[in-house]
Chains A and B, each alone.
Chain A
Amino acid sequence: MRKPEPSDIVVSGIGVTSAVGQGQAAFGAALLEGRHGFATMRRPGRQRPSVEHPTCYLGAEMADLDIPSAIPRGLLRTASLSGQAALVTLHEAWNDARLDRVTPERVGLVVGGSNFQQREIVLAQEAYRGREQFLRPTYGMSFMDSDVCGLCSEAFGIRGFALTVGGASASGQVAVLEAIHAVASGRVDVCIAMGALMDLSYWECQGLRSLGAMGSDHHADSPALACRPFDRDRDGFIFGESCGAVVVESLASARERERTPYARLAGWAMRMDGNRNPNPSPDGEIAAISAAIARAGLAPADIDYVNPHGTGSGVGDVVELDSLRRCGLGRARINATKSVIGHGLSAAGAVELIAVLLQMRDGRLHPTRNLDHPIDDAFRWVGAEAVSHTIENALNLSIGFGGVNTAVCLQRFS
């Protein structure tokens, strides 16, 4: 197949798993209802095992996965939670895009995220401490994130390429960008971008809280109120388990299988701040936003919906709104997906891009939970209730520690 023109690249399939629902139907419905899953986290390894100093990390955890019978049981047995989520999420995207009709050598997979299986590693090390010689051999494979590439490529017969990419909390969107590049360059005809489920242990929770990034236990008795991006009373992000898969290909390739795209990937950009630390930079964000809009051949006034990174961090939210305003995007509708599903970290960039696609398809914008006192009233917020809105051109942002800024423009397909 010829190399596609950059304007010909589309999303032809999606799969999503989250704490508010598994599958795009359940996920989309929960978004529009503003139905959350925030609570004190209970998954083994999420709270510090200390009687003297108990922890209360808040977050949204997934229900037991509904695993399709097509996924080999033998693979599932030793797959981590991140691996299982990847398999069920890819299963949905694969069937949605009808990838069984694509030559396996022409399919690629980019898994966004690094060090995303920490909880299971901590549990294994604690279980075998003092009898390390009996450590199960599969630990030698599964501790590496690329094990998820192996699981997915075996289960679905992917023969093109499969690799992981890391970009901190922008990893999922970095995966989307790399998938676009793989299709645009002709390396493969179809590339799946996945935002991997970040499986935090209490060690990462403590580190992120110590860093001032993760929200405090101020709302321990009322977890529903804890996650409040862009609200005056925010005090950090609240974690939420999720995994997303986005099928990227050329319009011509999708049409060969009679697939109607969700949207056109019209513009994209990644810019670095040149800063190892977590603090954001308006210069970097503005550079990424401007480059993505320019690549799409659009003007800022053409963007009618912004899906921001919006974590609920003290500085990050302020800088992001300042960047949007300076880019001329202050009049687009805006909401915060993390207010409903929490921050998926490595998954966020892919899962939130899926939230954009579903809202574009349904002509409705989901509510922003807990936005009682917006830090800037001048923006056109979607508040506590969903609203009808036809999205023609959307902008989706991701920002990660270490100065990572990414932006993607999505255009309605017609």
Chain B
Amino acid sequence: MTIQEIFEVIVRHTREILPGQEGRDFRLTDSLRELGANSVDRSEIIMMTLGSLSLNIPLVHMARAQNIGELASIIHAKA
């Protein structure tokens, strides 16, 4: 599983959670918070991503991610 593949899973779930993002060209530097995701939305996106990847990683490890790319990197490192 590469960081790019994890990124694509995060993007897929972000599109599910955030209305109006279906056609967006997501980048690694995109911030979920700046895209309009509140704390519950962000938790949902991360949990759905971990579920899709069957990874049991505590959410607390994701707290320092500043953008989707960093989130993908953390998940990749913990996998």
Contact = CB atoms under 8 A, between A and B. Distances in A.
A347 to B, nearest CB: 27
B40 interface: yes
How many residues of B sit at the interface, in one of the four size bands? 10 to 19
A136 B56 CA distance: 13
Nearest to A134: B51
A37 B50 CA distance: 42
A261 to B, nearest CB: 38
Interface string B29-42: 00000000000110
A77 interface: yes
Interface centre among A134, A135, A138 (most CB of B within 10 A): A134
B39 to A, nearest CB: 9
Interface in A71-102: 73-74, 77-78
A74 B47 CA distance: 18
26 contacts: A73-B19, A73-B20, A74-B18, A74-B19, A74-B41, A77-B17, A77-B19, A78-B40, A78-B44, A131-B51, A133-B56, A134-B47, A134-B48, A134-B50, A134-B51, A135-B47, A136-B44, A136-B47, A136-B48, A137-B40, A137-B43, A137-B44, A137-B47, A138-B40, A138-B44, A141-B40
Interface of A: 73-74, 77-78, 131, 133-138, 141
Interface of B: 17-20, 40-41, 43-44, 47-48, 50-51, 56
A137 B44 CA distance: 6
A128 to B, nearest CB: 9
A154 to B, nearest CB: 11
A135 B41 CA distance: 14
A73 B47 CA distance: 21
A339 B56 CA distance: 51
Most buried by B among A78, A131, A137: A137
A192 B56 CA distance: 44
Contacts of A133: 56
A335 to B, nearest CB: 44
A71 B20 CA distance: 15
Contacts of B43: 137
A187 B34 CA distance: 39
